[in-house]
A and B are shown apart, each in its own frame.
Chain A
Amino acid sequence: MTTMTFGRAINTGLRKAMENDPRVVIIGEDIGALGGVFRITDELQKDFGAHRVIDAPLAESAILGTAVGMAYRGYRPVCEIQFDGFIYPAFDQIVSQVAKLHYRTRGRVRMPLTIRVPFGGGIGAAEHHSESPEAYFTHTSGLRVVAVSNPQDACTVIQQAIASDDPVLYFEPKRRYHTKGDVDENALEDALPMDRARVEVPGTDVTLVTYGALVQTAREAARAAEDDGVSVEVIDLRSLSPLDYSTVEASVRKTGRLVVTHEAARTGGLGAEIAASLTERCFYYLEHAPVRITGMDIPYPPAKMERHHLPDLDRILDGVDRVLGRPNSLTGLED
């Protein structure tokens, strides 16, 4: 076990993947000498060379598109998208090419790409630097989508993503890059599979489902609820596509109450999918309609307004109250 930051844990995982497989290459903007704007690729170019850690000209569609060509030749490219809000120029290559080529070629061509995306807000950033675009990709068949929440997962899941023969979007909660944690660098072998959720905090009254940066917030909410005599089970989804319904379903059958929280806007978001699917799967176990605590349906707001947009401890607890039928901010409005 080594104590390290979230960012260093990703760096460690990348390094291990590159050591294990010479076909792993990294391509992105400013990832060489600078080590990336978040230093996630720190020292990798120095150690593996410029042909394996490739500073790309400034064009996201081309970063993805050339990675597709490399994958056609058997490489396993890791593409770094500098910030969430800059993935859109690459959208066509991800959705029309990366996601579909295995299907289109009836399994002949594999696209073992990993697409790393620092995502989410809470850092007081400029425009286009705080977005949560994951639902665009969970809506796209052919992709796997993960979001990590702690240094240990950051280190192991990046290696699992790179080892996956399917394309994986790997979302990194950038506001947690400096969080420290214990990391067993050799935990890969008996690690939880990439597509499984984890019960982060066990509980019996309410199931609270989230991923990425909000896992920490959800844990704090569970602690606060406990002080109030409410037992909240926190589930870190880890995999956003496929969703690990069996883990969530087992929890909801036990608690009868479901709150889903994410930074992304509500409409058409993952919360909608989870609420609908869980309602279909265990309607008769529910004591209350599922509740979503999410970002607003707005373009990401300026830094001084983001605290109103992002779900926080109190908003999550308000949702917990709602599924428990306790007095909450909407009492009297909805019923």
Chain B
Amino acid sequence: MSLPGTDPTGPLNDESYIQLLAPDGTRITSAEFDPWLEDIDGDRLAGLYEDMVVVRRLDQEATALQRQGELALWPPLLGQEAAQIGSGRALRKDDFVFSSYRENGVAYCRGVDLTDMIRVWRGNRPSGWDPYEINMATPQVIIGAQTLHATGYAMAAKFDGDDAVAVAYFGDGATSQGDVNEAMVFAASFQAPVLFFCQNNQWAISEPVGLQAQGKLSDRAPGFGIPSYRVDGNDVLACLAVTRKALDHARIGGGPSFIEAVTYRMGPHTTADDPTRYRDANELEDWKRRDPIDRLAALLSAEGLLDEALRQRVQQAADDAAAEMRAGCINMAEPGDLELFENVYTAPHPVLARQRQHYERYLDSFEAAEWGH
């Protein structure tokens, strides 16, 4: 008996997905999806390229900061740039994102401050950014829980008669969670304007996607009455076009959609993980041939757009972003001694106030002892 998910001819390895940009950079035309890319001219293509390069660079910088002891942990998104930039750039400002911990590329598209991106990973803050500043909820570590929040947000948007869409990002592993399945039930029943964006990066820590599902993840949503797409997650144009289509569907009252972006986690699960214990190095080599950035670079080259000026501009943007993140990390103010007590409640809480007061006295007792000697 083979291990779940290891059958190379099984449905999970089926490459029948929406692809508009082949791994070699060939642009594949599509009557259904090309209309969603009409505005993507040379400049916009270059913009997507820049986004992906910058985000990869930020990801590498954060990994380096972790190795240098400046961050406690980092969950790399290496390999998932197209899925995150393609979908992230499809969103409107007033759409609201509910993500997991790995969607820092999406956060980048939302305009997150680069220091805010890493606060939580340095251990300085319980979360990084102000959700209402970038319309993106604080990242979720409880696998799948955020899909319900997105659904509830979408239900509320519908109550308000607003055409904003809520987008839930989650992984292949998350699809096994009850919350994700409950979210699809609620989204369908209430025809909530929510987009379920699943990045199938093939792994949930050490577990292959075949352990979560014996069929395609995208085949599940139709069972809930939710239209579903399976897209090449390393193809930024396909991710952009399909996300735009699904968002539009939600905006005009069509209800939820599901997108499975087939991609690959090229790095470890987090900086604390060692993938050599559970996966074959050949697999990585295989996926490197489908790299999301290389293929867009190939398209840009073929169209004569990847000139020295563009290369330099992108390089500069990546270097600047990385430097900004590093400086923000290293110069981040340490939290105050009593900050841990803040914001547990919105209103006074005598029991906690007393605990805080006692702890404050305890801390002060050190100072008193020092003066006393």
Measuring CB to CB, which residues of chain A are less than 8 angstroms from any residue of chain B? 25, 51, 56-57, 59, 61-62, 64-75, 89, 92-93, 96-97, 100-110, 141-142, 144, 164-166, 195, 241-246
| B131:A105 contact, CB within 8 angstroms | yes
Within 8 A of A (CB), among B318-352: 342-347, 349-352
B127 at the interface (CB under 8 A from A): yes
User: Cα distance A107–B343 when bound, in Å?
Assistant: 5
Chain A residues, CB < 8 A from B98 = 69
Known: A105-B130, A109-B131, A242-B351. A70 touches B142 (CB 8 A): no
| A96:B142 contact, CB within 8 angstroms | yes
Chain A residues, CB < 8 A from B350 = 195, 242, 244-246
Chain A residues, CB < 8 A from B130 = 105, 108
Say which residue of A25, A62, A72, A73 sits within 8 Å of B182 (CB atoms): A62
Least Cβ–Cβ distance between B95 and chain A, in angstroms: 12
Chain B residues, CB < 8 A from A25 = 159
Residue of B nearest to A102 (CB): B343
Residue of A nearest to B130 (CB): A108
B14 at the interface (CB under 8 A from A): no
Chain B residues, CB < 8 A from A101 = 138
B185 at the interface (CB under 8 A from A): yes
| A106:B342 contact, CB within 8 angstroms | yes
Residue of B nearest to A164 (CB): B347
A-B contact count (CB 8 A): 144
Chain B residues, CB < 8 A from A96 = 142, 145
Least Cβ–Cβ distance between B127 and chain A, in angstroms: 5
Chain B residues, CB < 8 A from A102 = 343-346
B96 at the interface (CB under 8 A from A): yes
Within 8 A of A (CB), among B126-144: 126-127, 130-132, 137-138, 142
Chain B residues, CB < 8 A from A242 = 349-352
Known: A72-B131, A103-B344. A65 touches B183 (CB 8 A): yes
User: Cα distance A323–B127 when bound, in Å?
Assistant: 49
| Interface secondary structure of B, over-half rule | helix
Q: Mark B165-179, 1 if CB is under 8 A from A, else 0.
A: 010000000000011
| A65:B346 contact, CB within 8 angstroms | no
| B182:A61 contact, CB within 8 angstroms | yes
User: Cα distance A281–B244 when bound, in Å?
Assistant: 62
Residue of A nearest to B168 (CB): A69
Chain A residues, CB < 8 A from B156 = 69-70, 72-75
Known: A66-B151, A109-B138, A245-B351. A104 touches B145 (CB 8 A): no
Residue of B nearest to A144 (CB): B345
Least Cβ–Cβ distance between A115 and chain B, in angstroms: 14
| B145:A62 contact, CB within 8 angstroms | no
B365 at the interface (CB under 8 A from A): no
Known: A67-B152, A75-B156. A110 touches B131 (CB 8 A): no
| B148:A165 contact, CB within 8 angstroms | no
Chain B residues, CB < 8 A from A241 = 351
| B153:A65 contact, CB within 8 angstroms | no
Say which residue of A69, A100, A164, A166 sits within 8 Å of B166 (CB atoms): A69
Least Cβ–Cβ distance between B79 and chain A, in angstroms: 28
B157 at the interface (CB under 8 A from A): yes
Least Cβ–Cβ distance between A112 and chain B, in angstroms: 8
